[in-house]
Amino acid sequence: MCIIFFKFDPRPVSKNAYRLILAANRDEFYHRPSKVADFWGDNNEILSGLDMEEGKEGGTWLGISTRGKLAALTNYLQPRQDPDARGRGELVAQFLTTDMDSFSYLKKVSTEGHLYNGFNLLAADLSTEKGDVICYYGNQGEPEPVVLAPGTYGLSNALLETPWRKLCFGKQLFLEAVERSQALPKDVLITQLLDVLNNEEACQTRPSRTRARSMYSPF
């Protein structure tokens, strides 16, 4: 099960507090080729893994740029997939390379959501000057994107904050790690976030067919 936990506070009270802590795990088929997280080619601006499946090369599930743009994607669990639908990974890649703000981009995506199989998409503009903005859109939910209020969220293969048991359990572990974050060295916090993602009660895996792609991001 793909899963994302994140907590953001654009204006934390403590100078030692993180504005955003994000932990994400993506389950994928072993046979699907991909590149590990790295900067794109000669471009030192965008950091992400890359899908290398034929016909969908260059898409990604999670990425961030030095301009403060961040996007993350999960697939929506549905009984039947359209094999001719557009690759959902392009939605993340396009946001990372566009000059559009997060809400405007998701507004555009909402008019094209029918071209893709089910997905959830987070898009963020992270700026110390203007304040951080994180938006959400799922093409199996409401027709319009929403700007998220500061807080803690969980997202898996259903709509944002759908209270699946594994999501709720993992979110509680994530919250416990976040509550200790100010007192922890960054490397220890990262280890604890990876422990949350690797917890078998929090993240369902299918080891015979899939592999987990994990990424953490404390800011």
**Where does the pLDDT of residue 219 fall: very low under 50, low under 70, confident under 90, or very high at 90 and above?**
very low
Rounded to whole angstroms, the Cα distance separating 160 from 172 reads 16
Type of residue numbered 100: M
Residues, the chain, total? 219
Quick one: pLDDT at residue 218?
43
Mean pLDDT of 182-193: 93
Q: How confident is the model at residue 53 (pLDDT cuts 50, 70, 90)?
A: confident
Confidence band for 201, pLDDT divided at 50, 70 and 90: low
- Per-residue model confidence (pLDDT) at position 147: 98
Average pLDDT across the chain, whole number: 87
Helix (H, G, I), strand (E, B) or coil at 89: helix
Looking at mean pLDDT, say which of 51-55, 152-156, 210-214 comes out highest: 152-156
The vertex-59 CA angle with 65 and 133, nearest 5°, equals: 40
Best CA proximity match to 173, nearest among 196, 190, 152: 196
- What is each CA distance from 157 to 106, 186, 189, in whole angstroms? 18, 29, 25
Distance CA 174, CA 177 (A): 5
Please give the residue that has the higher pLDDT: either 193 or 212: 193
Q: Assign residue 124 a region: left if phi > 0, alpha if psi is -120 to 50, beta otherwise? A: beta
Query: Exposed/middle/buried for 31, CB within 10 Å: 0-12, 13-18, 19+?
Result: exposed
Kindly list the domain boundaries of the chain, sorted by start residue. 3-198
Token pair for 202 = 């929090």
Checking if the pLDDT of 217 tops 80, the result is no
Are the CB atoms for 51 and 59 separated by under 8 Å? yes
Residues 92 and 63: beta-carbon distance below 8 Å:
yes
Segment 26-40, tens digit of pLDDT: 877 777 888 888 998
- Tell me the pTM: 0.87
CA-based R_g, the chain, Å: 16
Q: Are 197 and 23 a contacting pair, CB within 8 Å?
A: yes
